[in-house]
């Protein structure tokens, strides 16, 4: 059994101010009903409330056929690179400045080249009219997630997203993925349930498989990025002395999670500030790839939702690691 965060905090009390409560949601395949906390199942949504839609812009694939001249020029460059590498199987491919300029001209800013059909591939933002219905990703009941703060009069949290790709959402730079909405409501005020609209097109990895939750409450700690260096060194040495790892075992806990600390395992720390007031946001929710929900975000990564601690009504921020 791994040593506990509580034991670590008892031995290194300087870490106590950094401790945050979190709920590990632990989704498991099942058949959830509307009143339950769950992933990918029916939501408590009143019949007199319109189902939300996203009007984009969504990223749509556009293909452009290369001219015969550009295709032949690309193939010549390809052959030249292979010839220079001949006899050196572990050597990198070398591209001259002239060849790089030629390839850049042929690509003309496109995202990829299909070398079977010889088509440039672009991802172009296109508005969706009349709109793409959002899909329910997650529903949480307050009694299952004490790690979160709840607006007065609410006891249900719902997370929906548009199951199409978006880039650079309003107030959200350097983001590529689904557009997310977070709603709070009171279960007691929901009578007859609305049958949600179903999108005609969706990115397969953005459509969750229905899952029940088995939530547990944990204490989470930050990793190296958000601790003083000497304090992180103490925590890491404490974990090593007990044959465990500080990262992801005692800090930045993995998986579907409400609250806690984010991991910056693909990048250095990227402070996520509130677009409305500039306050440093806090991790609200982590959506993980794979496992029973069978979702895939980023490069099989984590989509994290951040909220403003100064005002929960301020816009959410999104980040994928």
Please tell me whether residue 167 adopts helix, strand or coil conformation: strand
Q: Is the pLDDT of residue 172 over 90?
A: no
Cα 269 to Cα 254: distance, rounded to the nearest angstrom: 17
Reply yes or no on whether the pLDDT at 303 is more than 90.
Answer: yes
pLDDT band at 125; cut points 50, 70, 90: confident
Report how far residue 306's alpha carbon sits from residue 321's, in angstroms, rounded to the nearest whole number.
13
Helix then strand then coil, % of the chain, to nearest 5? 20, 30, 50
Q: What is the mean pLDDT of the chain?
A: 94
Q: 5-17 as b/e, with b when 16 or more CB fall inside 10 Å?
A: beebbeeeeebee
> Which of the residue ranges 11-15, 68-72, 126-130 would you say has the lowest mean pLDDT?
126-130
Say if residue 275 is exposed, middle or buried (CB neighbours under 10 Å; 0-12, 13-18, 19+): middle
User: In the prediction, which pLDDT does 46 show?
Assistant: 96
For the stretch 240-286, pLDDT in tens is 999 999 999 999 999 999 999 999 988 889 899 999 999 999 999 99
Residues 6+ apart with CB under 8 A from 190: 44, 45, 46, 156
* pTM, 2 dp: 0.86
Average pLDDT over residues 97-114: 93
Q: Rg (Cα) of the chain, in Å, rounded?
A: 24
Closest CA to 120 of 157, 71, 87: 71
């Amino acid at each position: 059994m791994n040593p506990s965060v509580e034991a670590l905090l008892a031995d290194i009390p300087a870490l106590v101010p950094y401790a945050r409560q979190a709920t590990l949601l632990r989704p498991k395949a099942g058949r959830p009903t509307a009143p339950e906390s769950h992933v990918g199942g029916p939501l408590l949504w009143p019949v007199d409330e319109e189902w939300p839609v996203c009007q984009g812009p969504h990223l749509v694939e556009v293909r452009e056929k290369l001219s015969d001249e550009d295709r032949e020029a690309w193939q010549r460059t390809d052959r030249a690179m292979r010839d220079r590498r001949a006899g050196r199987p572990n050597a990198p491919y070398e591209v001259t400045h002239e060849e790089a300029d030629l390839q850049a001209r042929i690509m003309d800013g496109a995202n990829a080249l299909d070398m079977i059909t010889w088509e440039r591939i672009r991802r172009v933002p296109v508005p969706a009219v009349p709109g793409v219905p959002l899909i329910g990703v997650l529903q949480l009941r307050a009694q299952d997630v004490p790690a979160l703060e709840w607006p007065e009069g609410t006891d249900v949290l719902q997370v929906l997203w548009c199951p199409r790709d978006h880039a650079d959402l309003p107030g959200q730079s350097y983001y590529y993925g689904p557009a997310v909405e977070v709603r709070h409501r009171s279960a007691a005020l929901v009578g007859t349930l609305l049958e949600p609209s179903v999108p005609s097109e969706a990115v397969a990895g953005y459509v969750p498989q229905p899952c029940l939750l088995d939530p547990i409450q944990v204490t989470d700690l930050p990793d190296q990025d958000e601790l003083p260096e000497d304090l992180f060194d103490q925590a890491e040495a404490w974990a090593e002395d007990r044959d465990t790892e500080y990262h992801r075992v005692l800090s930045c806990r993995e998986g579907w999670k409400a609250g806690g600390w984010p991991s910056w395992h693909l990048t250095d720390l990227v402070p996520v500030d509130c677009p409305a007031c500039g306050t440093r946001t806090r991790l609200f929710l982590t959506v993980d790839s794979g496992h029973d929900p069978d979702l895939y975000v980023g490069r099989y990564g984590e989509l994290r939702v951040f909220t403003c601690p100064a005002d929960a009504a301020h816009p959410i921020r999104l980040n994928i690691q």
